[in-house]
Chains A and B, each alone.
Chain A
Amino acid sequence: MSPLGPIAAAEKSHMIVFFLWMLPVCLPILIGLPWILIKYRRKGGTGAYHPEWSHSTLAEAVIWGGSSVAVVILGVLVWMNTISEDPYKHTGANPIKVQVVGSEWKWMFIYPGKMASVNKVVLPENTPVEFDITATGAMQSFWIPRLAGQIYAMPGMQTKMNMTTGELAQLEGFNSQFNGAAFPLDKFEVDVVTKAQYDAFLQEPRKPWADLLTQFKKVATWDGPQIFDAPPKGWWDKASMNPDLANEGGAAILPDAAPEQKKIDDAIRNELHISQNQSQGDAQ
């Protein structure tokens, strides 16, 4: 784990803290068990034999008491962590709002009133962001691991994920909930750029919104232009209530649809080709 934003950093530190707090409870077993196995072995062991010994009030108190104390401490930590890292809580004043629609197997991002993009989200550095998330077909899970944890994207539902972007980076976000034939392709680019680059991005030339919607409903995987006009005001809210607005019942993704399956296979091959070139590039 190499976190970039403060939320991902907090997740990592909680993980380390919890691991360390478990050691006082578990190390006595991990060390004591092998020691007992050696010392009390029947052939060659040196331990004294007390076949009737089966109770000790002191031991009971230490075992029940000790593990209870550990859980109380960890319980307090859980309560504080969960509330401070609540994905619904803004991570700073006036976060950038991005609306998200997850579909099979592509992601739509809407900067309300400004623009829409597919499989690409551009964010300014060190800035709080709030994603409003819904989906169209199957349930998905929206995840940009180096910035924050995941949250489900569900058709007919709205969820939120707040985070603060870190330094400049090109990252990957993806769906982690299996949703069919092109699941390995269900991901998107996350570009964390300077504020000036971000403003320039929002001014880039784009295609009409109608083009996006037509294509988004039809195709399984996305290749082609990524930037479009923003949808009419309130479209995302409507789409979160009626998933068919962005996907006509998932008709494009049936596994039996052979032509679509072939396109998916091609897309997988294409994707692998690109990533191989990238890693060769990295190596050089």
Chain B
Amino acid sequence: MSILGSLKWDDIFIVPFFKEPSLSTGIAAAAGGIVVLGALAVLVLLTVKGWWKPLWTHWITTLDHKKIGVIYIVLAAIMLIRGILEAVVMRAQQVAPAPGFLSVEHHAELFSTHGTIMIFFVAMPLLIGLINVVMPLQIGARDMEFPFMNAISLWLSVGGAALVMASLVVGHFETGGWTAYPPYTGIKLSPNEGVDYWIWSLMLTGIGTTLSGINFAVTIYKQRAPGMTLMKMPIFAWTTLCTAILMIYAMVPLAVASVMLALDRHAGFHFFTATQGGNMMNFANLFWLFGHPEVYILILPAFGVFSHVIPTFSGKKLYGYTSLVWATVAIAVLSFTVWVHHFFTMGQTAHLNAIFGIATMTIGVPTGVKVYNWMLTMWRGKLRFSTAMLFSAGFMFTFVIGGITGVMLANPVISFAAHNSLFLVAHFHNMLIPGLLFGMFAGINYWFPLAFGFRLDETWGRRSFWLWMVGFYLTFMPLYAIGLMGAPRRMAFFTDPAYLPWLLVSMVGALAVLGGLTSQVIQVWVSIKNRESLMVPAGDPWDGRGLEWSLGCPVPEHDFTTIPNITSREPWVEAKERGLRVMEPTEFVDIHLPKNTSMGFLVAMVATVGAFGLIFEMWWLGALCWIAMFVLVLIRSYDTDWEKTVTAEELRADYERHKHVVETTPKVSLDDEFTTKNRGLVFDMEKAV
């Protein structure tokens, strides 16, 4: 066993291309090249601009929940670009004359990384990031309950994503899809490092997510402002709580399944092998015992976002608060009772299938109730079509169509005819693109000023919405059709000429989605360029309703100068109705905030290097990093100088400063909401007495 483990010369990304030049190896080499050049470009940029020090002191070592949230979202954005580019390449592969330009194996790597990235490194960081930025501000907290653990969660997720990116440069990713079912992913049939990349990148981010779940739940239990009972909490906090509980329970089966798979592969165990007592069906059970609650981990926070965006831009109270809370809780509980519907075709008895089919449809009840509640929130309102509102309305319409096909698939007999087909692929994209991405896009457009102090450009935001919306329908409606005609998923090429027209439309759709993504990149670019005119220093740029909008934008590190007393569900609306523009201060006291520390970053980076060692069977490196992590945590544990104090005087000064800004900012009418007149404090002049 060499010191470099199983690492070979051929694992370097350009070597296969020079050995056997083809379009397929060329694309692999180019993708690896983009990663390497991209990383180099970032290093050069940081050096030329002299940004290393600010990056280190303000971002990498930060324990501020808002900044941690922003880094999560930046991570998700980078990975989203890769995920969408992969999708476009796969669509192009299927319209190219068969057998296309990718080898079957290369195509398999693409759909495996696409799925893994979109779920674990786009969807999860997006929602965890948004929760980090917003949830403490909504419940009147100054930070997460465990800020240091929050940093560890973040950098573990970054480490996991870095491993997936590294697989473009060194070695291969696995080819068994994001679910990685053995025995295909066992050592016999997948002998290279691909499955280990999957196992260890998921392990890192999985631990990070479990810790995030604990952090969110404890923060909500312990850090709510005085008077904010559970039934006075904003819905986003409720959906966060349910998501957090799901994270705590659901990530464990995934960790267990992937450790067992790792033991099978490298330690001669037989958990999931075909012989010697192994049973691959247990992997499917464990995986989906994680995988189904995961679907609701992804979707619940977006439901929370819609429950704030829709009332704000309807100028109206949320319809059916209690109903929404119970629907959320019901979904969270039921999500643990339906996992078998992912493998109705495994040969279990009809009665078992029927019970899981019925349980699956039962989830449709609270979900349907939610959609009706949002619709009734809009009813009798005054609707303003901001980017966030457009994404919310687009979600409602599109999600219902996914709900129809979802209930169809809940019937095991229909599942027999649609499982493993493009119909299924179309269905889950139909749930997750509106149900997760649109929600997160709405949330980011809506809450962006809290983190950065300026609004995002509306013109490019609306363009991005229409491109995403049209792109979604063009891409996935054809896949429903050819799925019903019998087209299996994960197929590198089709020989049936009847599929081609549908695949061409789908290709056009994928390009429109790419256009949507490009518009969002432009949107951010334009907004940064014009940030001076988009600033909303007085806060509350949309006549908002939640506590978070009582703060100035951007929100300072300590969040609240004084923690407000809560007496109702919409304290900020009531304050505004009483003519207040700033929440009345309660008591100014000295507060303690955690000092910045590099330990979270270091622990996670050491863990990442160790995981890389395990992937390439450099066991010594894995062991070394394990010890190093332990030592780092030990050092941190003996650090007594980890707090800094913000004095009552400083807080009072900050309060006065904010009050001054508010008092000197003219009130803005809803008509000027999306213009440069909006410096914060938007008001419905027609309603104001």
Contacts and interface: CB of A to CB of B under 8 A. Distances in A.
Interface of A: 1, 8, 10-12, 14-15, 18-19, 22, 25-26, 29-30, 32-34, 36-37, 40-42, 45, 47-56, 59-60, 63-64, 67-68, 71, 74-75, 77-79, 81-83, 85-89, 104, 136-139, 141, 143, 145-146, 148-152, 154-160, 174, 176-184, 242-244, 249-250, 253-256, 264, 268-269, 271-272, 275-276, 279
A150 B351 CA distance: 18
B622 interface: no
Contact of B347 (A45, A64, A157): A157
Q: Which of B354, B484, B687 has the most CB of A within 10 A?
A: B354
A70 B415 CA distance: 20
B381 A40 contact: yes
Interface stretch (B52-60, B159-167, B372-380): B372-380
Contacts of A253: 189
A156 B364 contact: no
Nearest to A135: B274
Contacts of B323: 60, 63-64
Nearest to B323: A60
Contacts of B421: 176
Contact of A149 (B274, B417, B497): B417
Contacts, number: 294
B24 to A, nearest CB: 11
A-B pairs with lowest CB-CB distance, top 5: A149-B416, A155-B274, A159-B347, A138-B184, A176-B420
Given A15-B408, A71-B365, A148 B380 contact: no
B412 interface: yes
A158 B346 CA distance: 10
B189 A54 contact: no
Given A49-B316, A75-B361, A268-B104, 16 more contacts: A8-B417, A11-B414, A11-B416, A25-B368, A26-B403, A40-B380, A42-B670, A54-B318, A74-B411, A150-B345, A150-B420, A151-B345, A155-B183, A155-B274, A177-B420, A179-B184
B98 interface: yes
19 contacts: A32-B375, A33-B396, A36-B379, A41-B382, A49-B382, A51-B381, A63-B368, A75-B357, A85-B413, A137-B274, A138-B183, A139-B181, A156-B275, A174-B488, A176-B488, A183-B104, A184-B104, A250-B188, A255-B175
Given A42-B670, A59-B376, A139-B184, A18 B317 contact: no
A interface secondary structure, majority: mixed
A221 to B, nearest CB: 12
Contact of B350 (A51, A82, A256): A82
Interface of B: 98-99, 103-105, 108, 175-177, 181-184, 188-189, 191-192, 274-275, 278-281, 314-321, 323, 343, 345-347, 349-351, 353-354, 357-358, 361-362, 364-365, 368-369, 371-373, 375-385, 393, 396-397, 400-401, 403-404, 407-408, 410-417, 419-421, 484-486, 488-493, 495, 497, 670, 687
Nearest to A56: B376
B102 to A, nearest CB: 12
B397 A30 contact: yes
A180 B420 contact: no
A156 B278 contact: yes
Contacts of B373: 63
Contacts of B419: 141, 149-150, 176
B421 to A, nearest CB: 7
Nearest to A23: B404
A55 B420 contact: no
